[in-house]
Amino acid sequence: MGGVTSTWVEPSNTATALLLLGRGSDPSTERGVECPGDLPAPSDPDLVARAAAAKAALGSKVFVLGHHYQRDEVIQFADVTGDSFKLAREAAARPDAEYIVFCGVHFMAESADILTSDAQKVVLPDLAAGCSMADMAVLGQVEAAWDVLTELGIAEQTVPVTYMNSSADIKGFVGRRGGVVCTSSNAKRALDWAFEQGSKVLFLPDQHLGRNTAVLEMGYSLDDCVLYDPHKPNGGLTAEQLRDAKMILWRGHCSVHGRFTLDSVNDVRERVPGVNVLVHPECRHEVVTAADLVGSTEFIIKTIEAAPAGSAWAVGTELNLVRRLALAHPDKQIMFLDRAVCYCSTMNRIDLPHLVWALEELVAGRVVNQITVDPDTARHARAALDQMLALPGADTPPPTAN
């Protein structure tokens, strides 16, 4: 079985201080959403100077990637910002950078390692920066599900499709079986391709993206979709349900986007007359169908940028991005879709102290928290990623809208 490793070094004084501050990495940490009422206070301003100095000392040897959901205190040091796949491609386009520091979560750093050369080292400042959705699809569970499909005689007609937000092991599983990776922007194209290869799709790990794409963009019905629960025998489904299904959806979801409800949409429409509701396709089906516009993170950003002054927008995605958009567009009324202030707790683990520690260790010649995908897993995962890149129109994915 494939796997992913990380390189550990003797903790420095800074690393010890992080642990004492409660900011050390702990793989058993709850990975999901937190609703503290507000974001954590920014780090000590002195750390800004240290981060800038370390980055300057490394020069072209380091390339820092920042996901849109990262804190402002971290994103200011990113050479490129974007969604997970854009950042992985940006890393691959920088072969001269010896170190890729990925300010995001674990599966993103894995993808960067898969797409970069063996000479490059990918660093994740905090190993506990995971993804609750990616954690919901474990290789052993997915292999067991495939065994169920094989016993029913339907595995050969089933094409596995995995969302970018999945582990390297799951991408490798999909690549071994001739499947494809997708993003929230190109999910329809990936599914169109999959249905040209077979009559069924096993969609991993986000049930909502799979359901929303199949029903709202491809004309399938909700009855064509079944939900496979890996914690129940045969996924909690009958043989007839699995044989009849077009979309076999994995029971996984984003802990942040899954918080938004139909009540959230109705409430904001009552409070803010004329508000436009703009949500990510990882949201629940009833939220997506009630929204005005639905699209990827990049689509959300471009929509807000192009919106007229004075317009009001309730955005259903991660809080850091919503707040950044609100600050960047003071001429528009931009708000979080839910009344509760929630952010992705694992994205927020990459704070300025962790970034400073990682950069200063690199300056000292010590590579910390290196993410390495084993060659066999990487080869098959790369095949699934390459298949995505080969999809028609892969360079210009259109957003979806209601």
Please give the annotated binding residues for [4Fe-4S] cluster, written as ranges: 131, 254, 344
Tell me the β-bridge partners of 103.
Answer: 66
> 314 near 322, Cβ under 8 Å?
no
> 290 near 265, Cβ under 8 Å?
yes
Rounded-to-integer distance, Cα 112 and Cα 342, Å? 27
> 353 near 21, Cβ under 8 Å?
yes
C-alpha 152 chain-centroid distance: 32
Helix, strand or coil, per DSSP, at residue 193: helix
Known binding residues for iminosuccinate: 67, 84, 163-165, 184, 280-282, 297
> 121 near 98, Cβ under 8 Å?
yes
Long-range contacts made by residues 8-11, C-beta under 8 angstroms, separation at least 24? 8/368, 8/369, 9/361, 9/366, 9/367, 9/368
Q: How many residues are present in the chain? A: 402
Tell me the β-bridge partners of 334.
Answer: 313
Helix-strand-coil percent breakdown of the chain, rounded to 5?
45, 15, 40
* DSSP, residue by residue, 143-167: HHHHHHHHHTT-GGGEEEEEESSS-
> Burial letters for 338-347: b for 16+ Cβ neighbours within 10 Å, e otherwise?
beeebbbbbb
- How far apart, in Å, are the Cα atoms of 88 and each of 64, 101, 102, 164? 11, 11, 9, 11
Known binding residues: 67, 84, 131, 163-165, 184, 254, 280-282, 297, 344
- How far apart, in Å, are the Cα atoms of 370 and each of 18, 55, 108? 18, 18, 13
CA angle 174, 178, 179 (to 5 degrees): 50
